[in-house]
Amino acid sequence: MFKLVKYEFRKMWSLLTIISITLLIILTVIFNVMGSYFHSTVQVIKNDGTIEKGVKAHFILRKESEDIKGVLDEEYLKKLLKEYNSSEQKKVFKDKPHMMKYRFVNYFINAINYGANMMPFYGDLDFDFLNSEEEFYNKYKNYLEQTIKENNEYKGIQKYTDKQIEEIKGKINKLEFPLKVGYNKGLTNFIETYSSYFTIVLIVIVFSLSTVFSKDTNNGVDELLLSSKFGRKKSMNAKIIAGNLFSILVYLIYIFTSLLIHGIFASLDGFGTSAQMFWVKCILNISLGTGILIMLFKGLLCVLVISNLVMFISMLLKNSKLSTITSIGVLFALIKLTYTTDMLKLALNPIYIATHLNGRLVEFETYYFIGEMMISYTLIAIILSIIYLIIIRISTVIVYRRYNLN
């Protein structure tokens, strides 16, 4: 079986797939570099108050941010207030709110204060709740409770009862403080660009796998293997396993290409900082790095669902051109369905599973209730993906039984 899978995997490396993966790498590099580092608005306020523009600004920000690493306790808050209020950066920031090293902490603090009214250019720290660590984290927990409740009332699938709010409040109260802070620009850029350009991966998968079971291509089914029951089954399983391995490889290429770009320009420092330093509404005791791994796992679930769906369409239609066109249509229909405020439609969409963690003020984890049982969306996403894969698998087996030589 291993040799057959290897054989099918090698067959997938056609001229089209090689071109597709090459374009994936090129586009990932271009979009990440131009979108994050060569953008015309990229400017940083240096420690001496001068403004640096262009690519050099990122290296300066990275170097000057070394002293902001620490734990966000009372001592840190006092030091932050003293240093920021007397800094040249604050003077310039009032008129020109560009990037500065304090933004890695100040954004989080301002989000707590302003809630839904938070704007990206807010950065000052004139808040009474910064007088003590206890008062600061009480304010943060109140912010989490209020915003989660407001979001649920505005776009929740099910409206939380008072008892359910208390359950979520219990999760908030289990947060461990103080939080860890530090420079994390490369990682946060990766999070934002990962979701923005994720569909490129799916497009490559569509073009690469939509001919796996077609009869009119070199990558199509082998008639010799179809001539026996044993051969038919092994052929189908080998193609599906090889297709999934190919999709995972494409996904990993996308991830590592993106990480390489952000590592070069902004470094991948900050893996151990608290997830709340990007996902402000996160109510889990996890690091930013762990949050990224969860995000990538959800992306993998989406990749597997789409890959198996495309291979099923290929088997169902048998014709390479028709399979490719249909698969592209299905993919863009799923993408189109993400442009909605209907949370039920979003929650069921495999592309939403992969891309919903792209914003600082999104909820990292949404909770749903079945009676008294509280279930996280991450668990729901895993269950949904398994259900989708089981349905596709059953449908594939049924269709393959009628897959003949004619």
Q: Is the per-residue pLDDT at 227 higher than 50? A: no
Sequence-separated (6 or more) residues with CB below 8 Å from residue 178: 71, 72, 73, 76, 133, 137
Higher pLDDT, 326 or 403: 326
Q: Give the distance from CA 81 to its chain's centroid.
A: 33
Residue 184's SS3 state is coil
**Greater confidence, 96 or 62?**
62
* Residues 106, 174: Cα–Cα separation, whole Å: 24
The predicted structure's pLDDT at residue 100: 87
Cβ neighbours around 274 below 10 Å, total: 28
Residue 142 predicted with pLDDT over 90: yes
- Predicted confidence at residue 406, as pLDDT, reads 46
Return the amino acid letter for 146. Q
Q: pLDDT tens for residues 112-135?
A: 999 878 888 888 899 999 999 999
pLDDT at residue 236 in the model: 80
Average pLDDT over residues 64-75: 93
Amino acid at 152: N
- CB-CB contact of 282 with 276 (8 Å): yes
**What pLDDT does 228 receive?**
47
Q: What is the pLDDT of residue 219?
A: 55
Show Cβ contacts of residue 229 under 8 Å, excluding neighbours closer than 6 positions: none
> What is the pLDDT confidence band of residue 394, given thresholds at 50, 70 and 90?
very high
pLDDT range class, residue 403, cuts 50, 70, 90: low
Percent of the chain scoring above 90 in pLDDT: 60
pLDDT value at 263 more than 50:
yes
pLDDT at 168 over 90: yes
Question: Whole-number mean pLDDT of the chain?
Answer: 89
Q: Is the pLDDT of residue 20 over 50?
A: yes
pLDDT of 256 above 90: yes
Residues present in the chain in total = 406
pLDDT digits (tens, 9 = 90+) for 300-318: 999 999 999 999 999 888 8
Q: Are 395 and 312 in contact (CB under 8 A)?
A: yes
Phi, psi of 371 (to 5 degrees): 65, -120
Query: Tell me: the pLDDT tens digits for 356-381?
Result: 998 888 889 999 988 778 999 999 99
The model's pLDDT over 179-220, given as tens digits with 9 standing for 90+, comes to 999 999 999 999 999 999 999 999 999 999 988 877 655 555
Within 8 A by CB and 6+ apart from 169, the residues are: 145
From CA 278, how far away is CA 271, in angstroms rounded? 11
DSSP lists the bridge partners of residue 368 as: 375
